Structure 1
Amino acid sequence: MIIKRAEKMGFCFGVSGAVDLCEEVIKKNNISKKKMYILGMLVHNKVVIKDMEDKGFEVLKEEDLLSHKIHLGENDLVIIRAHGTTKEIYKILDKSGCEIFDATCVFVKRIRNALIETENKGNKIIFVGDKNHPEVKGILSFGNNFEVIASFEEFLNFKVDSNVNYTLLTQTTFNKEVFFKIKDYILENYNNIEIFSKICGATYERQRAVEKLAKECEAIIIVGDKKSSNSKKLYEISKEINEKSYLIEEVDQLNVDWLKNISSVGITAGASTPEKIIIEIEKFIRGNFDDKHGL
């Protein structure tokens, strides 16, 4: 069996930066001995979170801060996750006196800043993304006048007021092909909607890579947390092209029956998936199927 990796897969620079920041904080905290917290899931991968907990971090729930179940002070340090957080949580952290390390992805920060700046100009925001995703909740908490849509079809049903100026913003992990459809429709039909796209380049590269892989291999394994937006989108894109596409979080979820009677399998991974999980899955496949043709 031929095992082929996607050309782009696994950790993006934002996730790598968040994990590296945690490692730096651990070294620094060997001296100060503060209690270490991560606000929510650092990244959407349970293996990464478990690793950080084993190294001394405690996952802090936003609702516990908001309900005052947890009271932070100067003897605590908090790392803000890669997805960012809400305006209210930032205020609580600032007032607490705790030491703050912000691992928010640069793309998330840019979209948040664009929202604030364009609203200050008087524009209404059209935000394309999943309203329940923590990244989107965090960004929108800085706004006042916005509508959230999740698909091209929802955009078609959105009533654009010709007397209002709009700015279109997107979730960083939004499907770029769907965004292009929305963008093209706007350019053809409206002149009062400015478009600000900061979909993560790594996200787009991974989406394009899985499209290519799904056409080249008989089966596709997508490795990623099932709560991960970008992993789910990789699965959706692959599944449209190749029916034998499977999303798994760890090697013990891999069903050997999926790979019977096929000669090639493609592997890709979400932006929060550690390399060690990918390697474990590759080893498992090689251990159960002949790899006479090599990689």
Structure 2
Amino acid sequence: MKINIAKSSGFCFGVRRAIEISLKAAKKINANVYVLGDIVHNNFVVNELNMAGVKRFSKIYSAKNKNSYLIISAHGAGKKIFSRAINRGYKIIDATCPRVKDIYKIGRRLERKNKIIIIGDKGHSEVKGIAGQLKNRALIIEEPGVLPNNLAKIKKAVVITQSTQSLDNINAIMGKLVKIIPDIKLYDTTCRITRVKQEEIRTLPKNNDAVLIVGSKSSANTKRLYLISKAINKNTYWIETAQNLNLDCFNNVKSIAIMAGASTPDKIVKEIVSVLEKYSRE
């Protein structure tokens, strides 16, 4: 069996940076270091950081002492989160991806004269953060089949996108919005690595018998990679670790492609490759 690892597989810049910032913070002497939610959407990484001393919580409680730090995850957060943390005694360590911060700047600059529409997953922390950085309430659209009822009242709008959005989804939604809103402009704020990964995953399923998408189920970018690949090659499987491999699926497979999401460590991919190599030799 030939194993082909995608060139763009694995960590993106923003994820790697957030992990490095978190590990550095964990080494502070006598510090209480916390992160609100997941630093990145990968269970393995979250557990590793917890073992290093970065404690995860879902709500901002009052700080234990003056040496308490709150890390803002790679996905970012709204202004209220920053204010609440400071008011409750935390020093902020901002690990927001610089590309996400660029989206904040664009949204804040353009909302003065435009209605802001965000194409993204409503429950995702990045989308909540983008919306929470704006003065005015933004409209959030997830898919072309579910549009807000009040779009016809909008005369002028700017569309910004979650950094890991599917390009197909963006185009499909914009195809509908341009027919409803007279003056509308798209600022495609998907990050470069998202575009690279999505372009590559449109090729790999055609050139391999099977495809493995590796990443946590909570990862938005991994989910999109899976959906793109599955539409092209039905023998596409989404797993989190080597323990999730069902080797019976690869009995007649001569070539398999592996694409890891932007928050998936190389260590996990190496373990999967090791299991597959052993299986192919048996």
TM-score normalised by structure 1 residue count: 0.88
Residue 179 of structure 1 is matched in structure 2 by 170
1:265 aligns with 2:265: no
Change (3 A) 1:288 1:103: same
- SS of 1:126's partner is strand
Residue 13 of structure 1 is matched in structure 2 by 13
Change (3 A) 1:249 1:198: same
Residue 41 of structure 2 is matched in structure 1 by 44
Structure 1: which 5+ residue stretches go unaligned?
none
Q: Of the candidates 195, 207, 210, which is equivalent to residue 216 of structure 1?
A: 207
Deviation (angstroms), 1:158: 6.9
Q: Of the candidates 50, 55, 59, which is equivalent to residue 58 of structure 1?
A: 55
Change (3 A) 1:284 1:26: same
1:276 aligns with 2:267: yes
Matches within 5 A, 1:43-192: 43-61=40-58, 64-65=59-60, 69-71=61-63, 73-119=65-111, 121-143=112-134, 144-154=136-146, 159-161=151-153, 164-183=155-174, 192=183
Deviation (angstroms), 1:116: 2.0
**Aligned-CA RMSD value:** 2.1
Residue 195 of structure 1 is matched in structure 2 by 186
Structure 2: which 5+ residue stretches go unaligned?
none
1:74 is aligned with what amino acid?
Answer: K
- SS of 2:281's partner is coil
Residue 204 of structure 1 is matched in structure 2 by 195
Identity between Structure 1 and Structure 2 (%) = 35
Deviation (angstroms), 1:182: 4.0
- SS of 1:168's partner is strand
Deviation (angstroms), 1:264: 0.7
Given that 1:210 and 1:237 are in contact with CA atoms closer than 8 Å, whether structure 2 keeps it comes out as yes
CA–CA distance in structure 1, aligned partners of residues 257 and 251 of structure 2: 14
CA–CA distance in structure 1, aligned partners of residues 129 and 64 of structure 2: 20
CA–CA distance in structure 2, aligned partners of residues 198 and 116 of structure 1: 14
CA deviations on 1:130-187 (whole Å, 9 max, x unpaired) are 111111112112332322111233359773446x211101111110122234446666
Given that 1:3 and 1:267 are in contact with CA atoms closer than 8 Å, whether structure 2 keeps it comes out as yes
Deviation (angstroms), 1:23: 2.4
Question: Using CA pairs below 8 Å that are at least 6 residues apart, which structure has the higher relative contact order?
Answer: 1
Given that 1:126 and 1:149 are in contact with CA atoms closer than 8 Å, whether structure 2 keeps it comes out as yes
Given that 2:62 and 2:89 are in contact with CA atoms closer than 8 Å, whether structure 1 keeps it comes out as no
- SS of 2:100's partner is helix
Q: Which structure features the higher share of helix residues?
A: 1
Given that 2:208 and 2:255 are in contact with CA atoms closer than 8 Å, whether structure 1 keeps it comes out as yes
2:226 is aligned with what amino acid?
Answer: Y
- SS of 1:91's partner is helix
Given that 2:40 and 2:75 are in contact with CA atoms closer than 8 Å, whether structure 1 keeps it comes out as yes
Deviation (angstroms), 1:95: 2.2
CA–CA distance in structure 1, aligned partners of residues 274 and 25 of structure 2: 33
CA–CA distance in structure 1, aligned partners of residues 274 and 81 of structure 2: 42
Deviation (angstroms), 1:108: 1.5
Change (3 A) 1:214 1:45: same
Residue 245 of structure 2 is matched in structure 1 by 254
Change (3 A) 1:139 1:72: farther
1:224 is aligned with what amino acid?
Answer: G
CA–CA distance in structure 1, aligned partners of residues 127 and 151 of structure 2: 22
